[in-house]
Amino acid sequence: MRLPDCLGAPYPRLALYLPHRPNDLAQLLDAPSASALIAANSNHWRKIVTLLAKIASPVADDWRNFRDQALFQQTALCFAPQLSDTAAWHWIGGKDNLQRFANLHHNAQPLPNSPEVLIDPEKQLLLTPYPDYRQLSNALVAQIRTVLDDEGFYRT
């Protein structure tokens, strides 16, 4: 059985690209949920889906409810090294992961005071360190949200 390249919404507002798949991916396909993904995997995946929720949640302070109720109705985790044709915004997490996207041409520019995070509004591309609390602090998440808000992400 060939596992799919994405888990979550078929037309996500935000797709997070990662270099590896979670455990029990096949069982998550019919009804993807953050709680099921976390239960079948490690704390590492809890951090990933929490950071995805913190960035994608339409209301910043409601990220927990968004993660638990709507995360995979509006976002997707993608594992192949090519951008999905169906995603509105693309988030590639990690420098090593970015290297897998050999043919990706972009004009991403660093955020002010955060050279490790780059954004290309034209291609709707967000490049960050790997989604982990040590590399993506709450302050950095807030800065990313501000830039995405400026680009209309939360109004669509």
Number of helical H runs and strand E runs in the chain: 7, 7
Taking residue 142's Cβ as centre, other Cβ atoms within 10 Å add up to 12
Query: Which are the contacts of 151, defined by CB distance < 8 A and separation ≥ 6?
Result: 119, 121, 124
The residues spanned by each domain of the chain are 6-155
pLDDT of residue 91: 98
Instruction: Judge whether 5 and 76 are in contact, CB under 8 Å.
Output: no
pLDDT of residue 156: 63
pTM, to two decimals? 0.95
- Rg of the chain over Cα atoms, rounded to whole angstroms, equals 14
pLDDT of residue 122: 95
Give the span between the Cα atoms of 10 and 146, in whole angstroms.
Answer: 26
Inter-helix orientation angle 43-56/138-150, to 10°: 40
pLDDT of residue 6: 93
Give the span between the Cα atoms of 144 and 138, in whole angstroms.
Answer: 10
pLDDT along the chain (156 residues), means of 10: 81 96 87 92 92 97 97 96 94 95 93 93 96 91 96 88
